Amino acid sequence: MKETGILMAVSSLPAPYGAGDLGRSAMAWVDLLAQNGVTIWQILPLSPTGYGNSPYQPYSSFAGDELYLSLETLAAEGLLPHAPEPFRADSTRVAYDAVRAWKEPFLRQAYGRFSPDADFEAFAAQDWVRSYAVFRAFKKANGGQCWLTWEPWQRDWPAAQGGDLAPYAEEIGFQTFLQYMFARQWQTVHAYANEKGVRILGDVPFYVGVDSVDVWAGRENFLLDADGHPTFIAGVPPDYFSETGQRWGNPIYDWAHMEQDGFRFWKERIGYNQTLFDIIRIDHFRAFDTFWKIPASCPTAVEGEWIEAPGYAVLDALYATIEGLTLAAEDLGDLRPEVLTLRDHYRLKGMKVLEFTLDLSGRYARDGGARRANQILYTGTHDNDTLYGWYASLRTAERRKLRRWLRRQGFANGTVTDRLLAYALSDPSEWVILPVQDILGLSGWARMNLPSTVGSPNWEWRLADQTAAAHALRRLRAQILHRRTDGTAEEVER
């Protein structure tokens, strides 16, 4: 069966309080997907966003962002006297700082009314929960500063377990409560999606942020100096997105240490995420084969070298340990053949992005990407422009070539965006995933992220309500359902 998915971040869901949450709006979104034959909902990482509000620079690989907690659900459980009046409900941008500041008093009020039970105590006893709660308590006490600037006893707490935690007990309890409620609310959404025939495709960044509990509590897993600062950082060399490359700033893994302890970090990290999602997409999968190692002193990503990683050993360990593991690979970019060999050895679905494969440079337009079954076809991802924005950026001659090519393929009706969506849905790929911005035909203002830039407006776009998305999915419903019957490209309604 060929399946269709929609890519939309939880933060982009319409909801009453300025950002998407795990309440009624998430359930309504699942209903809308199921009603129109969509069987995969791809989301961005759920972890607490760090630098630049990026979900790819999270504070933890395990924790969930309290931004997504539904106040309506907390009120229904009696933890709030009533659901608050809406706040920034109609905004098409997530004002992260404003929404967090507005929601926090309600979350603390809910914590004050909460009575721990055995289930809560068992959750709180997990090592990652304890470490995360202490990390966030220390972070709050230090004005949100990176752990590298904290007092020595706080920086070294994971190893020494020293110092008096009594002054931080209330905040530690609050942070534990937030994670407990997040886990409950997310699993409710996840179970509801599965009941409706929708699987969740979660995104796991290959790297973690330096200002994270992963690094603070697991320094041995990374290449750091004696004070905990990265000696080398991650990124990619100059490419399509940037002439100076992308300097992400994430610390590089100490693969020698990880091999010695059987890749415990990876088994715990991916194993926990497997409980959250049905499918895990590994962002920057190519780093399991080779990774770009940049000296931390270099201000750009121009300086660096490709280093081989023990990808086979890691993936063997994951599949041997984690039952039912389903992975997909983000395998974009200029890759050496060994990356694809690694991907295919485990029969992982890779990615084809339509915007990247449409060649408009010659006399005739063409789709230069492989048309094969075991892959995921995207019209675009969170890192590139919307279809409409991409088309608008083309030169007049390129637009003309594209329209002619679409007509020759048999897609002559509707807007260019409509025709590109129809072409994508006719592809033999087993999974076709469409960003919600593309099915809405939105211009470049709605893109989620512009690589190599930090801060607003990245990660901020959201739906004010579901009406337009409902209309758009209904228009695509016949083609989506036809894919589920394994119709060939020639049989798809045009």
DSSP 90-154: T-SB--HHHHHHHHHHHHHHHHHT----HHHHHHHTSHHHHHHHHHHHHHHHTTT--GGGS-HHH
The predicted pLDDT at position 1 comes to: 87
Identified catalytic residue from 239, 278, 383, 398: 383
**Dist. CA 66–CA 103, nearest whole Å:** 9
Question: Within 13 A of 114's CA, how many CA atoms are on the CB side?
Answer: 22
pLDDT at 491: 36
Q: Quick check: 387 and 417 in contact, CB under 8 A?
A: yes
Alpha helices in 361-466 (DSSP H): 387-393, 396-408, 416-425, 436-439
* Choice among 65, 203, 283, 385 that is catalytic: 283
Active site residue 418: no
Residue of 3, 171, 330, 460 marked active site: 330
283 catalytically annotated: yes
- In sequence order, what are the residues at sequence separation of 6 or more whose Cβ sits closer than 8 angstroms to the Cβ of residue 374? 347, 349, 430
pLDDT given for residue 48 in this prediction: 95
Catalytic residue check, 330: yes
Strand partners, 432: 4, 377
Question: Which residue matches tokens 């309600």?
Answer: 106
| pLDDT (tens place) for every residue of the chain, 494 residues total | 899 999 999 999 999 999 999 999 999 999 999 999 999 999 999 999 988 899 998 999 999 999 999 999 999 999 999 999 999 999 999 999 999 999 999 999 999 999 999 999 999 999 999 999 999 999 999 999 999 999 999 999 999 988 999 999 999 999 999 999 999 999 999 999 999 999 999 999 999 999 999 999 999 999 999 999 999 999 999 877 688 898 989 999 999 999 999 999 999 999 999 999 999 999 999 999 999 999 999 999 999 999 999 999 999 999 999 999 999 999 998 899 999 999 999 999 999 999 999 999 988 899 999 888 999 999 999 999 999 999 999 999 999 999 999 999 999 999 999 999 999 999 999 999 999 999 999 999 999 999 878 899 999 999 999 999 999 999 999 999 999 886 544 333 33
Cα–Cα nearest to 352, from 340, 360, 362, 363: 340
Distances in Å between the Cα of 462 and the Cα atoms of 440, 454, 478, 494 are: 12, 18, 26, 30
d(CA 243, CA 235): 13
Sequence-ordered list of residues with C-beta below 8 angstroms from that of 236, at least 6 positions apart, any chain: 245, 246, 292, 301, 333
Give per-residue pLDDT as tens, 389-417.
999 999 999 999 999 999 999 999 999 99
Integer Cα distance of 49 and 35 in angstroms: 32
